Amino acid sequence: MSSTGSSKSKSRAVALAAVAFVVAAASVAVAVGRKSAVMKREILRYDRLCEQRDWRKIIELSDAREPLSLAAYGYRNLALANEGKLLDGLFRWPDMEPSGLVPESRSTEYSNYVEMEIFYWMGLVNISRRYAFEAQEAAPDHKARPRLYRRLAETNILLGYDEVAAKYLHVLRRCLARCYREWDAYGNPEYPLIRSRQPRSFDIFFSEVRLQEIERALLRDNPDNAVAAQYLLASLLLEKDLEGFCDIVEGMKFPSPAPRYVQEAVAVLHHDSPLVSDLTRRRLADFRRSASAAQSTEEMIRTYPDTYWLYYFYRNLNPPSSDEAPAHQ
């Protein structure tokens, strides 16, 4: 009898453990699903604001709450660049990383939207068209997306392919949404700006690993391409390539005072540079004293959460050499 009772107890224990596992797995699945839904809603909201060119609202929202995904970071950084503030707001959140600047495509319905926008505003119209096409192809129901058809019409007009653009416009003219149906495709006031940023002296063999090279070429064609300039400098900051960064900023003109992260980056290598304000020098000295006092990384994050120095000295990507680093890391 005792053997039978023990066997039944073990069976009940196994059954209860199995139920507990199923409940836990279901709870995790629900939590993941909710988070995914929240992330998707955030991306769609940012994309809608991007389509409306409401850059300030995107900045306001992403200043108030940290973006939940790389795509959302991508929209935030594009909004900052279009407002001329990327080098003042890039490190607002300590978790900023290189992949948040130009998020790589993952061939899902919404993953290409932010790349489509970044390259459009940079002047890489043909690349923007490619991402718009890929986003439409990735639509799970294979239905036309007016948002994407508009971009495909815009990019084909800019590239001089009016007959191709007409096919997309024909679909938009039958769209229920008035903003698409009555859109003046050829009267877009953005076209002169985007055309001025298009590459003229080189043919693009596009690769995201060659993006810095492409941005440099865009700036040779048009030194006033503010979006390309900000993205190039931001990518160098994220890679911790301060020598390359300083080489470029030496030949650039900045308002006075220079953008915050330009000052903070230059101050690491060239403390006496005219680009660096007295306030930034004092703040860097305070940062180094705090590091020398053996504060923990957590304490440094709490004290200097939105500085470039926190990213440069405390993030593991390409750590600085020992002669550059603060006393405590």
pTM, two decimals, is 0.84
Consecutive H or E run containing 191: helix 191-197
Task: Dump pLDDT digits (tens) for 110-131.
Answer: 778 999 999 999 999 999 999 9
What pLDDT is recorded for position 296?
Answer: 83
Task: Dump pLDDT digits (tens) for 272-296.
Answer: 999 999 999 999 999 999 998 877 8
**Neighbouring C-alpha atoms within 13 Å toward the C-beta of 76:** 26
Residue 248 in contact with residue 230, Cβ under 8 Å? Answer: no
Q: How far apart are CA 80 and CA 89, in angstroms?
A: 7
What pLDDT is recorded for position 143?
Answer: 85
Q: pLDDT higher for 190 or 109?
A: 190
CB atoms within 10 A of CB 309: 21
Task: Dump pLDDT digits (tens) for 239-268.
Answer: 999 999 999 998 899 989 999 999 999 999
Tell me the average pLDDT across 216-237: 95
CA 199 distance to own-chain centroid: 22
Confidence of residue 107 (pLDDT cuts 50, 70, 90): very low
Cα angle 129-134-139, degrees, rounded to a multiple of 5:
130
Whether domain 39-239 has CATH 1.25.40: yes
Report the candidate in 197, 217, 185, 189 with the shortest Cα–Cα distance to residue 119. Answer: 197
CA 309 distance to own-chain centroid: 20
Q: Which residues contact 104 (CB under 8 A, 6 or more apart)?
A: 115, 208
State the chain's mean pLDDT as an integer.
Answer: 86
What pLDDT is recorded for position 28?
Answer: 44
So where are the chain's domains?
A: 39-239, 240-329
- Tell me, what DSSP letter sits at residue 192? H
What pLDDT is recorded for position 34?
Answer: 65
Tell me the average pLDDT across 26-55: 79
What pLDDT is recorded for position 26?
Answer: 44
CB atoms within 10 A of CB 174: 9
Report the candidate in 235, 259, 257, 236 with the shortest Cα–Cα distance to residue 246. Answer: 236
What pLDDT is recorded for position 205?
Answer: 62
Task: Dump pLDDT digits (tens) for 72-97.
Answer: 999 999 999 999 999 999 999 988 88
Report the candidate in 60, 86, 85 with the shortest Cα–Cα distance to residue 237. Answer: 86
What pLDDT is recorded for position 138?
Answer: 85
**Which residue type sits at 107?**
S
Tell me the average pLDDT across 61-77: 95
Residue in this structure with the two tokens 């319905």, named with its chain if needed: 109
Tokens of 10: 């073990």
Q: Which residues contact 67 (CB under 8 A, 6 or more apart)?
A: 42, 73, 75, 76, 93, 100
**Neighbouring C-alpha atoms within 13 Å toward the C-beta of 73:** 19
Highest mean pLDDT among 32-46, 151-165, 191-205: 151-165
In percent, the amount of the chain with pLDDT more than 70 equals 81
Report the candidate in 268, 267, 282, 263 with the shortest Cα–Cα distance to residue 324. Answer: 268
Residues 121-148 as b or e (16 or more Cβ within 10 Å = b): bbbbbebbbbbbbbbbebeeeeebbbbb
Residue 291 in contact with residue 327, Cβ under 8 Å? Answer: yes
Helix orientation angle between 70-82 and 226-238, rounded to the nearest 10 degrees: 130
